[in-house]
Structure 1
Amino acid sequence: MHHRSGSVLVLTNPLDVTTDAVLRVLAERRVPVVRLDPGIDLHAGASLTATYRTGGQRGTLRTASRELDLSTVRSVWVRRASPYEGPPELDGQDRRFAASQALWGTGGILASLPDAHYVNHPWANRAAEHKPAQLAAAQRIGFLVPNTVITNSADEARKFVESQAAGTVYKPLWNTPYSVDGKPHAVWVREVYSANITDAVSVCPHLFQAKVPKLFDARVTAVGDRLFGVRIDSPDLDWRRRQDRMTCTPIDVPEPVARSVAAYLGQLRLVYGAFDFAVTSTGDWYFLECNSNGQWAWQPTGITAAIAHALADQLQKGCDT
């Protein structure tokens, strides 16, 4: 495998402990790493400069501890960076203006580094986060997809719910922060009945999906062409709700599913993806979603270590030449 020289640039927040597992592997391999949280660090002493002219571009990132020539970056790992919210000392429209300029300026520079290998490219990540796009891609490449409707019509929602013999679930289209009485409140996948559908559906699009009569859930973590499967057994409809009650065991990924995972990654231009499936007693794997930046360090120790090494391999090699 050819390895490009240069640093790996990791874009994430300082509390992202999942990143540490990969950085330890890169440190053991003596691969230089620069960690940056652009939405925060550039208001705390770091600076970023990019120049463009006929025949080339250059850029420099300066932090408290180092100076990085952006033209030498071999890979960029786009993890969990803080949002661009503007300098905290500004208020109102000034802060909104600064935040917008940072998104389009800083974000644009970091997404356009010459010859860098992105895991994943931030624009590919954003496009792949839309659930309608996920479902459309999954359907095109041949995944089994549960009957799904996205609508803001209460009548259409009721008709759909009533037509699903095995039941229906509701899923939010995005993990939007929500609070009840000032306390954070998660909106989990839950079963829904026709009587639950009110005219409030008209406020925004809602996703309703046929309930899969699953035997268990499966998570397939894809890093390039390497797949890591786990079986998830949980008493809950949504296993994420109470992870202390679930059990995870390694599982082989069937070849037809593996081929579809590869096709999905190719279609959405992803290097990494965390795929969720519902698996029936007859062995059918139903695609539920793919999180292009999903967490993975909660899995069994052996799989977590293998994923960390696979990601380190991607970051170390840089672009294929």
Structure 2
Amino acid sequence: MSTGPRTRTLLKATSTARRQAITASYSALTQVCVATADDAVEAELVSEHPTHAWELPRSNALVLVHTDVAEARALLRSAQLLERHRVPVVTPRYPDALTGGGRAVTFWRLPGRERHDPATSARVTARIHRIDPGTVRWLARENHDPFNGLLDGLDNAPVLDPCKPFLRDRAAEHKPAQLAAAQRFEFTVPDTVITNRADEAREFVAAQTAGAVYKPLWNTPYAVDGRPHAVWVREVDPADITDAVSACPHLFQAKVPKVFDARVTAVGNRLFGVRIDSPDLDWRRRQDRMTCTPIDVPEPVARSVNAYLDQFRLVYGAFDFAVTASGAWYFLECNPNGQWAWQPAETTEVIAHALADQLQKGRDA
């Protein structure tokens, strides 16, 4: 396999089953490239979910390898329809899906830019996470954080209104955008680095006197032997970090010396807080071992929560905090679709009523 260096590193570090799936995907890609005269040398795998996505640096293309032919053709038809209506899209290089190795393969044009600049990252992100191709222009607007462009331009984007709440939620799930907004609105945020350089990750982790943790950038489901798995937040030492980090960006964060966790569920301008006591670093891992009690949300935290929701144009958010002995509330993340019915009965009841009231009044009420 004549893949790029990041993919070669991934293939050395991954499981046999995953390596076989990547190899089959690359085989389908190269078979089709023989017919199209595209160059698959140094191809880099940029995503495996929901389909395998390959970036071809020599052909300046993003290639999706689908297991479902109908899905591939539907994606092409959607992009072609948007293009006919003069909506800016990532245009297909070929009008139909091509087949190789029992898979459907679609090619997408990328403008002539360096492979790893933010705009290219935005376009790849749009394809990977099935964000409507018509928004890619807005995704790529900002140099430092591609998702800022989506948020700033969304109301004027040529996207059907029913799609906009979905796009807001997808953008609000993006961890780098969350952390940038949290700092902007004066949350206390743990020191953080996002990198795919092993030396940089080791240096950061070693510098954290209270320890460091690893967490995924995106909550992506996966399965092992058919059983669903999740990546939990866990402590990490410099010795744990190998060159496999280069396969994709990783988020490392200073460990907060917390005495308890807190969840703040926001519905419009109404906030509902609970204290979470758990023996685990990540309380989500074994929820049968945690206890929850209602707690007041400090006024500075409440102001920051409301400003954060306004920034992302959300009316709901599930905010997670780590609280220290001194009373500092450290922002960890905000899930725009976070579950809430697991909380104490008195809390879930008022949240349910607040959601019903908000739905009745509408977003702008």
Bin the TM-score by the shorter chain: 0.5 to 0.7
The answer to whether the 8 Å contact 2:266/2:318 transfers is: yes
The answer to whether the 8 Å contact 1:111/1:122 transfers is: no
Matched residue, 1:97: 73
CA distance in 2, matches of 1:109, 1:242: 44
Matched residue, 2:269: 225
Give the Å deviation of 1:305.
Answer: 1.0
CA distance in 1, matches of 2:329, 2:271: 15
1:212–1:100 CA distance, 2 compared to 1 (3 A): farther
Give the Å deviation of 1:177.
Answer: 1.9
The answer to whether the 8 Å contact 1:111/1:121 transfers is: no
Equivalences for residues 222-301 of structure 1 within 5 A:
222-301=266-345
CA distance in 1, matches of 2:221, 2:363: 36
The answer to whether the 8 Å contact 2:320/2:333 transfers is: yes
Matched residue, 2:149: none
Matched residue, 1:112: 161
The answer to whether the 8 Å contact 2:315/2:363 transfers is: no
Matched residue, 2:227: 183
1:147 lines up with 2:191 in the alignment: yes
Query: Alignment RMSD, CA only?
Result: 2.6
Give the Å deviation of 1:126.
Answer: 1.2
CA distance in 2, matches of 1:100, 1:296: 37
Unaligned runs of 5+ in 1: 1-82, 84-90
1:192–1:313 CA distance, 2 compared to 1 (3 A): same
1:299–1:111 CA distance, 2 compared to 1 (3 A): farther
Matched residue, 1:308: 352
The answer to whether the 8 Å contact 2:264/2:319 transfers is: yes
Give TM-score scaled by structure 1 length.
0.66
1:212–1:305 CA distance, 2 compared to 1 (3 A): same
Instruction: Write 1 or 2 for the structure with the bigger share of helix.
Output: 2
Q: Percent identity?
A: 74
CA distance in 1, matches of 2:160, 2:244: 39
Which one-letter code corresponds to 1:304 in the other structure?
Answer: T
The SS at the match of 1:231 is strand
CA distance in 2, matches of 1:151, 1:319: 37
Which one-letter code corresponds to 2:193 in the other structure?
Answer: V
Give the Å deviation of 1:320.
Answer: 4.3
CA distance in 2, matches of 1:218, 1:319: 26
Aligned length in residues = 228
1:291–1:320 CA distance, 2 compared to 1 (3 A): closer
CA distance in 2, matches of 1:203, 1:282: 39
1:303–1:180 CA distance, 2 compared to 1 (3 A): same
Give TM-score scaled by structure 2 length.
0.58
Give the Å deviation of 1:234.
Answer: 0.2
Equivalences for residues 160-179 of structure 1 within 5 A:
160-179=204-223
Unaligned runs of 5+ in 2: 1-49, 51-66, 79-129, 134-156
Matched residue, 2:24: none
Give the Å deviation of 1:180.
Answer: 2.5
Give the Å deviation of 1:240.
Answer: 0.2
Using CA pairs below 8 Å that are at least 6 residues apart, which structure has the higher relative contact order? Answer: 1
Alpha-carbon deviations, 1:164-211, whole Å to 9, x = none? 000000001112122233322211000000000100000000000000
Alpha-carbon deviations, 1:249-282, whole Å to 9, x = none? 0000000000000111111111100000000000
The SS at the match of 1:121 is helix
Equivalences for residues 39-118 of structure 1 within 5 A:
92-98=68-74, 104=132, 112=161
1:100–1:282 CA distance, 2 compared to 1 (3 A): farther
Which one-letter code corresponds to 1:229 in the other structure?
Answer: G
Alpha-carbon deviations, 1:74-117, whole Å to 9, x = none? xxxxxxxxx9xxxxxxx733332225657759xx999515xxxx
1:178–1:144 CA distance, 2 compared to 1 (3 A): same
CA distance in 1, matches of 2:327, 2:364: 37
Instruction: Write 1 or 2 for the structure with the bigger share of strand.
Output: 1
Give the Å deviation of 1:146.
Answer: 0.1
